Amino acid sequence: MKNNGWRKSFVWCILVIILMLTLVTSFFAAGDTISLNAYDKDSIHAAASDSSYLIRLTALHIESVAADLAACGYDVQWLTLTDDSVDLIVNDHEYRVLEGQGYTFSIVEKSRPFREIQAELSEGLDDVPPGYLDLAEIYDEMNTTATTYPLLCQMVDLTATYGTEPTYENRHLYALKISDNVCADEDEPTFLMVSCHHCREIVTPVIALYAIEQFTTQYGSNPQVTALVDAYEIWVCPVWNPDGYEYVFNVNNMWRKNRHYFSQYSSYGVDLNRNYPFGWDGPGGGSTDPFSDTYKGPSIASEAETQTMIAFSDDQHFAKVMDYHSYGREVLYGYIPSYHSHPFYSFFQSEAVSISYQAGYGGSIRVPSAEGENFQWQIFRNGSYANLMETHTSFQPTYASALAEAAQIWPSTVWLLERPISVSGNVYDASTGAALTASVTIEGVSFVNGECFITEPSFGRFHLFLPPATYTLTFEVPGYVPQSHQVTVTLESAEILDVPVHVPNETPLAPTITGPTSGNAGTTYKYTFVTTDPDGDDVYYYIDWGDGTYEDWIGPYLSGHQVFVNHKWDEKGSYTIQAKAKDTHNAESGWGTLDIEMPLSSEHSLRLQTRIHQQSPSIEQLFFSRVLRMFM
């Protein structure tokens, strides 16, 4: 019996060992199937869990290793880079891949619901200060502000307004509109402040809510704020990733993406700030790995959040955009030069330095680390004065620190709004005054990526931010004659250029003039004027009678219809009647002419008649006698 028991125990031990070896072998084999250079979806072996990890990876040539990892979609925390280590935020899947490939790292922190973290920060405090707001509380705050300041604020459901799809978890996207006449769509430049594309960056909604507070509570008492609210339509979107924001509070405080579930991969989320059209499919775009924190999505603008921003921006044509992120305390500008060039690169750079100083960041700036980002697309699509600001030094600082950051960077918002728009104005139909959608070309400046400058449809308004120089701007509207204007721009320029454009138009024909060509001075004669407009437009006539008098653009008259005008000349002599016509577009014809002679004055004619009567008294008698003879 003892031998049999021993044998059974031995067999069971052998089986357990074999099983463990099999599991370990399969684990590392699975890990080895994922290459850092390419993503093979068939090799995915496990669904994404609810956990994320802040890890510290050590290696020789760490900067090169970090760059390789970032290129493969890993969320590298560049500000943590040292001589031999760098921090990364990874999910369970990425954790296993790195472990399987033999990287050396340690766990610094494991994710958990942010609510737990906030509760712990409040422990032991008798008077607990207000902390970070969850999503419902943010929306409540926005609604309360709109109710408190109904003439200044309006809560807008952007999803409903533009008819776009709700988020994956069926949420809508909201903005607070702030303006002096908030219920009207006014002909004013628009400003977009947006936060929290990346949901773990919860310091950024605090900044947006602080700005809302300043715009509303200071209006009417602070002349600077009052002037800005009067001059702009301001749109503030505190949370652009509502699904992710809820997930951060309730499950995983390190989560970055939205919560779109991809069943074919058993993966969650798209990095919303890699999902915009510009640069999405280029070498600077986000990751193609659905498990990566920088996954750019299955297609351009695949996400409801991105589609709503595109519809929103195409409608508003934002003149200025600030997109808040964390962390880094630096201002991002322009494109990645090695992938996409822009003729105003140096200008963008110098403007970013100014914003950085105003934010208290000491001029710290950089180009973006990737493309497919919202602010880059705003530059490309609408010619917006757009930047991304990396705020604070962590994703989730203490709430007091977040409020301090919001107060610190507020002057940069004021500076941004006060920064003059180099050239702006409206394009409209010269005849009707109707606003027109026009394209604006800057002659001699090459935009190789297809950037476009288009007027917004409601008012035909346009904006151009230009480095100092002299430019020729050409405005083109289908069905209208193009117009060109030269402008000289300085850093302080705020030129208003309104552009009335005309439909293609043929001038009327030179008028034909008919009527007496000789007569007596002092006698009134009737003349006929007629012209034809090739476009059938009504016409006006300008008539010069040749005696120093004229008819000043009488009309309008139908094309081809005769116009009768009386005139008398007071003095004898030779005269030339001249007339020209213009249509309703002010296109003028050539001159039509008629030469006339007035050889006798009215006084001379009367004297002649009297003399004839005196010298021939029997003329009348002779006439009547002849008439009588005809009837005898």
Those residues whose C-beta lies under 8 Å from the C-beta of residue 348, and which sit 6 or more positions away, are: 333, 334, 342
DSSP character string of 560-627: T--EEEEEE-SS-EEEEEEEEEEETT--B---EEEEEEEEE-HHHHHHHHHHHHHH-TTHHHHHHHHH
With CA atoms as reference, report the closest residue to 385 among 325, 463, 458, 309. 463
Contacts of 461 (CB under 8 A, 6+ apart): 187, 189, 317, 424, 425, 426, 435, 455
What are the mean pLDDT values of the chain's consecutive 10-residue runs (632 residues total)?
50 48 39 33 41 92 91 89 93 90 92 86 56 95 98 98 98 98 96 98 98 98 98 98 96 96 96 97 94 96 98 97 97 96 96 98 96 97 97 93 97 98 96 95 94 93 97 96 96 95 92 96 96 95 97 97 96 96 93 92 54 52 49 42
Please name the residue that has the structure tokens 């993406």: 257
SS3 212: helix
Residue type, 530: V
Phi, psi of 612 (to 5 degrees): -65, -40
Q: Give yes or no for a contact between 337 and 367, defined as CB atoms under 8 angstroms apart.
A: yes
Q: Would you give the end-to-end CA distance of the chain in angstroms?
A: 178
pLDDT value of residue 59: 92
The identity of residue 412, as a single letter, is S
pLDDT of residue 115: 87
Q: Say if residues 296 and 270 touch (Cβ distance below 8 Å).
A: yes
Q: Residue 602 has what pLDDT? A: 54
Instruction: For 18, list phi and psi in degrees, rounded to 5.
Output: -60, -45
Model pLDDT, residue 610: 53
Strand duo 385-391 + 461-464: pairing? unpaired
DSSP of 479-545: TS--EEEEEEE-TT--EE--EEE----PPPPPPEEES-SEEETT-EEEEEEE---TT---EEEEEE-
What local confidence, expressed as pLDDT, does residue 612 receive?
Answer: 47
Supply the pLDDT for residue 37: 33
Rounded Cα distance, 68 and 165, in Å: 36
Compute the distance between CA of residue 153 and CA of residue 237 in angstroms, rounded to an integer.
13
Which residues is 525 bridged to in the sheet? Answer: 567
> Which phi and psi (to 5°) does residue 261 adopt?
-95, 130
Task: Determine the Cα–Cα distance for residues 125 and 351; give it in Å rounded to an integer.
Answer: 44
Domains of the chain: 33-110 (3.30.70), 117-255+300-418 (3.40.630.10), 423-501 (2.60.40.1120), 512-600 (2.60.40.10)
The secondary structure element, H or E, covering residue 77 is: strand 75-77
Reported residue count of the chain is: 632
Q: Count the alpha carbons within 13 Å of 31 in the hemisphere toward its beta carbon.
A: 17
The DSSP bridge pattern shows strands 423-429 and 365-366 to be unpaired
For residue 199 the two structure tokens come to: 């949901």
pLDDT of residue 118: 82
